[in-house]
Structure 1
Amino acid sequence: MSTELDPLSTSRSTLSSRLRHRRARSGNRPRRELVAFFASALLILLAVSAGTVWASERIARTNALAEAQRSAQNLTRLVVAPVLSDALAGVPGRWEELGRDVANRTSDGSVTKIVVWNAEGRILFASDESLIGRVLDPSPELRAAIGGETVADIDEHPETSPAGPAEAVLEVYTPLTVRGEPLAVEAYFSYDSIDRQAALLRGEIIPVALGALVLLQVVQIPIATSLARRVRRQETERAELMQRSVEASDRERRAIAADVHDGPVQDLAGVSYALSALRSSVPGERQPTVDRLVSTVRHAVQSLRRLMIDIYPPDLSGPGLGTAISDAADPLRAQGIEVILDAAPLPEMTSDAAAALYRTAKEALANVAKHAQATHVWITLEETELHEAPAVRLEIADDGVGFPASGTDRRQEGHLGLSLVHDRVADLEGTVTLSARLGGGAVLTAVVPPGHEGS
């Protein structure tokens, strides 16, 4: 079978089907796009909310660490340093005074604990007297503070906490030098301060960020709705314009077919009858010539009638489809090819489905006539099922040379026949298969749903 394009085989029924599908989709497309717009806006709001919460936590942590560092440095400079030097020198009463000063500072709850370390990890002083004198392995933060750096961090397992459930605290190590000895003052701050600052920041940031987005979406809603309506209206107008073009093309095709039928076909038929009537009046040696002229004229009439069917196919639904396909096989019969047609009763079909089957049969039969070198052709037209739904099956088999080894896709050479067959049937949600016939030859099978009028 060939893939050669018949220029008159482009199906207007396929275009009509596409227009109906486009109109159906055009009504739903703006609605889907609006839903997608609102859904994306909601997702953006949720993402911004989550990002704002995360950012507020980060900002609160940074601010709390900075504030804790300033508080710890002031505490070390103003409270601990003036007394600690005398206390370490053994001045009587200075340790007690340091304890009272620290107790006053921790009484408001902003600072929960104060510890003074030396470089070996020994606790020289602590607001919790039970810790005084303990020696612990110096932590990296303590070493950094002994080296002269103020270090702040959130610690979930403070080394000076009593045994029991861990509780996160904000700790700051501040360097302090007393009598040439490097020390570090560790101050513990409540982690609740970070929560309070985060809540405060969320209360200030979220309304501003989300409020601006909500206001933007509220402004965009009428704009998006208006654009969606405009798109829907333009899609409807475009579909109606294309439908009018198809209808105008149908009217022109019908007018051309009528002109061909009423003009050249009738004239040639008259010529055929006139030649037949004149046959007996010409000499015997001229009668074979008259017979050839009559045959040529009748063949021209048949060709014009097939052209009329191509230009404007008749109603192919019901038994008319089998008859039309049988007529399309006349060129094969004229070549001496035996055509066997088995047409069973068919379900009610739309004009699009019937036209697609007719075009498929015509393309396949044309390819058999040109390339198959067959002696027999079998045409089967019957009811079947496709996806568990009623359908119509068309099968055209021949005993010719079969499909070429190079395949049937010859679009690059400009031959689109079988490609158009496939596209035409696929537009109706049908299937087309090409296979080799058992015993030699080729088989084309097309299965098309009958469709429903108005769908």
Structure 2
Amino acid sequence: MARFLAIGAVTLVVLVVATNLLAGQAADREALAEARTINEVLAESVAGPLLREKLVLGNPAAIDAFNRRAVDQFDVQVLSQVNLWSSERLVYSDNPVFAGQEFELGQERQDVLENGGTGQVYTDETAQTLLTEDADGTVQIFTRIETPRGTPLLFEGYYSLEDIEERRAQIYRPFMWIIVGALVLLLVLVTPILRVLTKQVTSAAKERERLLRAGLEASDAERRRIARDLHDGVVQDLAGTSFSIAAAAREPELADGVRASLHAANQAIRDTLKSLRALLAEIHPPEIQADGLASSLADLIAPAGALGIQASVSVEGAETATDTQAALVWRVAQEAVRNALRHAHPSTIAVTVRSDGKKLVLEVVDDGVGFAADAAPAADRYGLRGMSSLVRDSGGRLEVRSSAGEGTAVRLEVGVDA
């Protein structure tokens, strides 16, 4: 439960930060949009109806009349200064020192004056000159308007960033609590669902592992039964027959040809017994113990000699492993050696086991025909592929490296229990 709460808390923090960032950006845009709307309303509804051509020409009486009639209506909290621009000069400003002077409008103002609409800039050179207060704390918003005769002018307002930020906070605050509340509610609702789903996945994984182990145990039990039946039945019968033939071959009155036939038959039976015992070891391996791993692996590669294959076993430090880990090493080695003998046609096979006290490593290397790494897995390599699941469940790692004509290397690595 603690893990789910931790995951939920981290998720909540990430979501809150992300949504707050997005909501803050939206509030910024909305607060600035409100300032632009104010500027457009003042330009079109207040300044526009009061415009006269004499004002554009700089007539002092027209300027004074415009100022007296409009000044009260320009008294907006977020607005700190108003300018009226023509294409040539500053027509009007509530900072009268600069009225009538020529200034460089800048590209943004020129574009709006020529094409219409509303634009904005932050603290440009013109603002620094005209504004008696700190221009760094303002944004300049300008809207195009026209005189009754169609002369274009630019209505410009200086808006306080502090006031805009305050308005942003007013817009943002309710949404913040809504967002946080919704996320908390979502977390409360989703966490139990995630917990149930994770529990189901965990249970399914445990059930899969249980079925896998049950399947392996059932397979081992069946292997033991078959091995026992073969050992107690066919093997014992063949052994008894071998002894009987050997005894019969020693009878002095037998002809030499008959005696030779009996010896040949007895040798054939003994060879069959060896093959059966090797088959029994494959069907059900002996109880593998860490201190007997070297001899068990030596028995495993014994059939290689009959095929003219040079095989070797080297075991170092395996006594630090458990019997279960030793059995896993033997089973992987069995599959690797079996595949090599059946399919690789090697001239050498080397089985190496070593441990440094922390991990147990098995390597089975042959110089056979190998296979292409990108080739589809062959059906006859199913046994080794099936070992991968068992190795993973045991906390180990199985790797098969091969290329056509370059042999095959099988490597198992599993941690040694402390």
Answer yes or no: is the 8 Å Cα contact 1:392–1:448 preserved in 2.
Answer: yes
In 1, distance between residues paired with 2:106 and 2:343?
93
In 1, distance between residues paired with 2:312 and 2:336?
17
2:192 counterpart of 1:222: yes
Cα deviation code 1:4-43 (max 9, x no counterpart): xxxxxxxxxxxxxxxxxxxxxxxxxx99888667644543
Taking structure 1 as reference, are residues 257 and 133 closer, same or farther at Cα in structure 2, changes over 3 Å only?
Answer: same
Gaps of 5+ in 2: none
Q: CA deviation at 1:50?
A: 1.0
Give the match for residue 43 of structure 2.
Answer: 72
In 2, distance between residues paired with 1:361 and 1:217?
52
Amino acid at match of 1:133: G
Give the match for residue 12 of structure 1.
Answer: none
Q: CA deviation at 1:232?
A: 2.0
Which residue, out of 325, 340, 346, partners 2:297?
325
Amino acid at match of 2:88: E
Q: CA deviation at 1:58?
A: 1.0
Taking structure 1 as reference, are residues 353 and 329 closer, same or farther at Cα in structure 2, changes over 3 Å only?
Answer: closer
Give the match for residue 8 of structure 1.
Answer: none
- Matched residue of 1:166: which SS? helix
RMSD between aligned residues: 4.5
2:326 counterpart of 1:353: yes
Answer yes or no: is the 8 Å Cα contact 1:176–1:182 preserved in 2.
Answer: yes
2:123 counterpart of 1:161: no
Give the match for residue 113 of structure 1.
Answer: 81
2:242 counterpart of 1:268: no
Higher mean alpha-carbon deviation, 333-342 vs 66-75, is at 333-342
- Matched residue of 2:319: which SS? coil
In 2, distance between residues paired with 1:68 and 1:391?
78
- Matched residue of 2:174: which SS? helix
Answer yes or no: is the 8 Å Cα contact 2:344–2:407 preserved in 1.
Answer: no
Gaps of 5+ in 1: 1-29, 436-440
Give the match for residue 9 of structure 1.
Answer: none
Higher mean alpha-carbon deviation, 141-150 vs 265-274, is at 141-150
Give the match for residue 151 of structure 1.
Answer: 118
Which residue, out of 57, 68, 77, partners 2:28?
57
Answer yes or no: is the 8 Å Cα contact 1:60–1:197 preserved in 2.
Answer: yes
For normalisation by structure 2, the TM-score amounts to 0.76
In 1, distance between residues paired with 2:104 and 2:204?
78
Q: CA deviation at 1:296?
A: 1.4
In 2, distance between residues paired with 1:373 and 1:75?
98
Taking structure 1 as reference, are residues 409 and 293 closer, same or farther at Cα in structure 2, changes over 3 Å only?
Answer: farther
Give the match for residue 17 of structure 1.
Answer: none
2:368 counterpart of 1:403: yes
Answer yes or no: is the 8 Å Cα contact 1:359–1:421 preserved in 2.
Answer: no
Cα deviation code 1:220-244 (max 9, x no counterpart): 1212212222222232223223222
In 2, distance between residues paired with 1:434 and 1:145?
71
* Aligned residue runs from structure 1 range 136-215, under 5 A: 136-140=103-107, 143=110, 149=116, 151-157=118-124, 158=127, 160-162=130-132, 166-177=136-147, 183-215=153-185
Q: CA deviation at 1:130?
A: 1.0
In 1, distance between residues paired with 2:38 and 2:151?
27
Answer yes or no: is the 8 Å Cα contact 2:344–2:369 preserved in 1.
Answer: no
Q: CA deviation at 1:292?
A: 1.2
Q: CA deviation at 1:173?
A: 3.8
2:355 counterpart of 1:416: no
Higher mean alpha-carbon deviation, 246-255 vs 145-154, is at 145-154
In 2, distance between residues paired with 1:317 and 1:201?
74
Cα deviation code 1:149-203 (max 9, x no counterpart): 4534244222623597634234334524267765554443434442233212112
Q: CA deviation at 1:335?
A: 6.1
Amino acid at match of 1:218: V
In 1, distance between residues paired with 2:104 and 2:307?
107
Answer yes or no: is the 8 Å Cα contact 1:85–1:178 preserved in 2.
Answer: no
Amino acid at match of 1:313: P
Percent sequence identity over aligned pairs: 20
2:5 counterpart of 1:45: no
Cα deviation code 1:425-445 (max 9, x no counterpart): 97533677789xxxxx98978
In 2, distance between residues paired with 1:260 and 1:285?
33
Taking structure 1 as reference, are residues 252 and 48 closer, same or farther at Cα in structure 2, changes over 3 Å only?
Answer: same
In 2, distance between residues paired with 1:192 and 1:278?
118
The structure whose RCO (Cα within 8 Å, separation 6+) is larger is: 1
2:67 counterpart of 1:134: no
In 2, distance between residues paired with 1:148 and 1:407?
69
Higher mean alpha-carbon deviation, 242-251 vs 285-294, is at 242-251
In 1, distance between residues paired with 2:66 and 2:225?
114
Answer yes or no: is the 8 Å Cα contact 1:328–1:365 preserved in 2.
Answer: no
Which residue, out of 262, 286, 297, partners 2:258?
286
